Amino acid sequence: MNSHMIILKNDEEIEFMRAANRLVGMTLGELSHHIKPGITTLELDRIAEQFIRDHGAIPTFLGYGGFPNSICTSVNENVVHGIPNNKPLDEGDVVSIDCGTNLNGFCGDSAYTFCVGEVKEEVKKLLRVTRESLYKGIGQAMEDNRIGDIGSTIQSYCETNGYSVVRELVGHGIGRQMHEAPEVPNYGRRGTGPLIKNGMCIAIEPMINMGGRKVIFENDGWTVRTKDRKPSAHFEHTIAIRNGKADILSTFEFIQETV
């Protein structure tokens, strides 16, 4: 199959996608009750993997391109793709957790940046603005708009707030595969990119830096961090376009909110 082809989903397929994404939301919710100073990201990984398997699904990230764990855990200056490890989280850290499931052959993908204990107000603001930018992007995901309308809206909202948008990593189509066409950048120009159609399923995932937009790819082969080592935030939802507008398939409803 041509990997540039956008695979539209019918209503039945979208309901399978909703189930996989709801499980991702439940997993993030379960993790939110464990995130506190002293817990390690490896412990969080074990909780997530067990929870996903107990619900009859497979953790999509485990072994994906050789990734060693079931969730990505990216602390403070780490943007995405952090590998869980034995270092305890500290009071004042933020940790972005990205989680994927495969349930009955369909993929879920969602991410959330959590506070560990009390976090500085300026960092909480970065989290709030990034999360708001996700919903503003989702608001542009409607039939007859273009993919560039999503990124353009996310970029202008975040830059207006003094933050910068990572360019090297983008959102994506999703379905039976975690990564399908099209790419969904968090930056760009209105009126550009593929036309948005009913049946499209995409993951929108702003990665927003407090400082400059430049990132470094670490030698572990996975971790992406900010060049200036200032904090970064990452929020992601999987959505479907149905009846002309966005139907959010993943959910933050199970998460114990901290910002």
Between CA 98 and CA 236 the distance in angstroms is 8
Secondary element (H or E) of residue 153 = helix 147-160
- Considering only 119, 203, 233, 249, the residue that binds Mg ion (CB under 5 A) is 203
Nearer to Mg ion, 13 or 98 (CB): 98
* Nearest-approach distance from CB 144 to Mg ion, in angstroms: 24
Q: Interface residues for Mg ion in 220-239 (CB under 5 A)?
A: 236
Secondary element (H or E) of residue 246 = strand 245-248
* Nearest-approach distance from CB 158 to Mg ion, in angstroms: 18
By CB neighbour count within 10 A (0-12 exposed, 13-18 middle, 19+ buried), where does 108 fall? Answer: buried
Report helix, strand or coil for 202: strand
Interface pattern 87-106 for Mg ion (x via CB under 5 A): -----------x--------
Between CA 84 and CA 74 the distance in angstroms is 8
**Beta carbons of 107 and 177 less than 8 angstroms apart:** yes
Q: Which residues pair with 3 in a beta bridge?
A: none
Nearer to Mg ion, 36 or 150 (CB): 150
Site size toward Mg ion (CB under 5 A) is: 5
* Nearest-approach distance from CB 91 to Mg ion, in angstroms: 26
* Nearest-approach distance from CB 61 to Mg ion, in angstroms: 8
Nearer to Mg ion, 149 or 236 (CB): 236
Query: What's the DSSP call for residue 66?
Result: G
Nearer to Mg ion, 59 or 231 (CB): 59
* Nearest-approach distance from CB 92 to Mg ion, in angstroms: 25
Nearer to Mg ion, 86 or 208 (CB): 208
- Considering only 45, 93, 109, 149, the residue that binds Mg ion (CB under 5 A) is 109
Give whole-number Cα distances, 233 to 9, 128, 143, in Å. Answer: 30, 9, 28
* Nearest-approach distance from CB 59 to Mg ion, in angstroms: 12
Residue 178: other Cβ atoms inside 10 A: 19
List contacts with Mg ion (CB under 5 A).
Answer: 98, 109, 111, 203, 236
